[in-house]
Amino acid sequence: MSDLTDKVRARAKELLESGEVKLVIGHARGTTPYRSRPHFASTPEQTADLIHDVTCATNLAVYVSKPKEKVAVIAKGCDARSLITIINEGQAERGNVVIVGVPCEGKLDEGGLLERLGFPRQVKAVREEGEEVVVEGTEGEVRVARDEVVMPNCTYCRARTPAVRDELIGDPVPAREEADSYPDLAELDAMTEAERAAFWHEQLSKCIRCYACRNACPSCFCPECFVDEYHPQWALHGGGQFRGNWMWNIGRAQHLAGRCSACGSCQRGCPVDIPLMLLNRWMERATNEAFDHLAGMSEEQKQLAALFRKAEAKVEHG
């Protein structure tokens, strides 16, 4: 049992016992030792199932929707960014959300993990040791550098310690130095416009319009999504409709401009492996450079649409 898990349980128990909050949203062990699932503790006893380790990837802000009573969220940096974003957008009152920050050095990208590790047998446990992740199986253990098994967005994370928080469990860790240089976009940048169009044509053709990306995203909270509307019908329905796929995916990315916490939940949720984070990060770079705006990094920040800078006219992206 990791140190952080103990602290999270203790703090959650305290919050519920004192009556300070009515609910603690955190993680519990999932169906396998390398997965977690969201856990909702409303009694002190239920905090015994809480965990916090390298498997706790889900952005928990998605479960916070206009709470009437005080809720505590065990929040990584990206969860906190999302919480601040939705609070700024009227989806929760700041006074009703206790951001219990936890430091994060990256969360496991569990999709296809075993294949990638060449790990044919059952996994018994996953733990972090320094800069390594240790996967223990029935036939011995594999050690692997953390950056190789965490979600790609964790390798350029700018919020490894929650920027806005009410408290912090554990010790702060510094942001990744790569955060502002956008190494993940280098490949797209190197392409010509035509190559980029072809790349996205290929990627977006795969979309089956299951909207898992939308469901996983804390910033997607509209009562009715534009893509579900019929008057006008922005995007033709059904997978395989390239034009509709294009409208949906580009529309989604644009609607997330200045609102994406780079948690990677959309990409993690995508069953056909569309690199959605590339779109999100492309938008983040544009809005960051034009408006000096990063979603959820400060409580005072305005919504992107309310910002104006004379310099914005000069920013160009292909």
Partner 1 sequence: MPRVGVFVCQCGTNIAKSVDCAKVAEEAAKLPYVAHAATYVYMCSSAGQQMIEDAIREHNLSAIVVSACTPQMHQKTFEGCTERSGLNRYMSTMANIREQCSYVHKDPELATQKALELTAMAAAKAARDEPLFQSEAPINRKALIVGGGVAGIQAALDIAEAGYEVTVVEKTPSIGGRMSQFDKTFPTLDCSACILTPKMVEAYQNPNIRLLTYAEVEQVGGFVGNFEVKIRKHARSVDEEKCTGCGSCWEKCPQKKIPSEYDEQLGPRTAIYVPFPQAVPLVPVIDRENCLKFLKDRCGVCQKVCPANAVDYTQEDEIIEDTFGAIVVATGFDVWDHSDYGEYGAGQIPDVISGIQFERMLNLSGPTHGKVLRPSDGKEAKTVVFVQCAGSRDDQHGYPYCSKVCCMYTAKHAILLREKAPDAQAYIFYIDIRATGKGYEEFIRDAQRKYGAQYIRGRVSRMFRQGDKVRVFGVDTLGGGQVKIDADLVVLATAIEPRHDAKALSQLLGIGCDNNGFFNEAHPKLAPVDTMSAGIYIAGAAQFARDIPDTVAMASATAAKVVGLFSKEKLLSEPSVANCDVNLCSGCRACYVTCPYDAIEMTEHDDRAARMTRMVACVNENLCHGCGACSGACRSGAMTLRAFTDNQIEAQVEALCELVPA
Site for partner 1, rule CB under 8 A: 66, 88-91, 221-226, 229, 231-232, 234, 255, 302-303, 305-306
Amino acid at site 282: W
- For residue 5 the two structure tokens come to 């898990």
Q: Rounded CA gap, 110 and 129, in Å?
A: 18
Q: Residue 180: which of 147, 152, 158, 153 has the closest Cα?
A: 158
Nearest residue (CB) to partner 1, 182 versus 246: 246
Please report how close the Cβ of residue 175 comes to partner 1 at its closest, in angstroms.
Answer: 27
Query: What single string gives the DSSP state of each residue in 111-160?
Result: TTHHHHHT--S-EEEEEEETTEEEEEETTEEEEEEHHHHB-GGGGG-S-S
CA dihedral 80, 76, 49, 32 (to 10 degrees): 130
Taking the complex as a whole, the smallest distance from the CB of residue 229 to partner 1 amounts, in Å, to 6
63 or 182: CB nearest partner 1: 63
The nearest distance, CB 11 to partner 1, in angstroms, is 30
Tokens of 60: 């928990």
- To partner 1, the closest distance from the beta carbon of 221 in angstroms equals 6
The 3-class secondary structure across 217-286, one letter per residue, is CCCCCCCCCHHHCCCCCCCCCCCCCHHHHHHHHHHHHHHCCCCCCCCCHHHHHCCCCCCHHHHHHHHHHH
- CB closer to partner 1, 306 vs 313: 306
The minimum distance between CB 140 and partner 1, in angstroms, equals: 50
Nearest residue (CB) to partner 1, 199 versus 226: 226
Work out how close the CB of 163 gets to partner 1 at its nearest, in angstroms, rounded to a whole number.
Answer: 21
Given CA atoms 144, 148, 154, 160 in this order, what sign does their dihedral have? positive
Which of 66/237 has CB closer to partner 1? Answer: 66
Minimum CB separation of residue 79 from partner 1 in Å reads 19
Which of residues 113 and 290 has its CB atom nearest to partner 1 in the complex? 290
Rounded to 5 degrees, φ, ψ at 234 are -70, -40
- CA–CA separation, 146 vs 126, rounded Å? 12
Our CB check for partner 1 shows the closer of 89 and 187 to be 89
Rounded Cα distance between 144 and 133, Å, is: 5
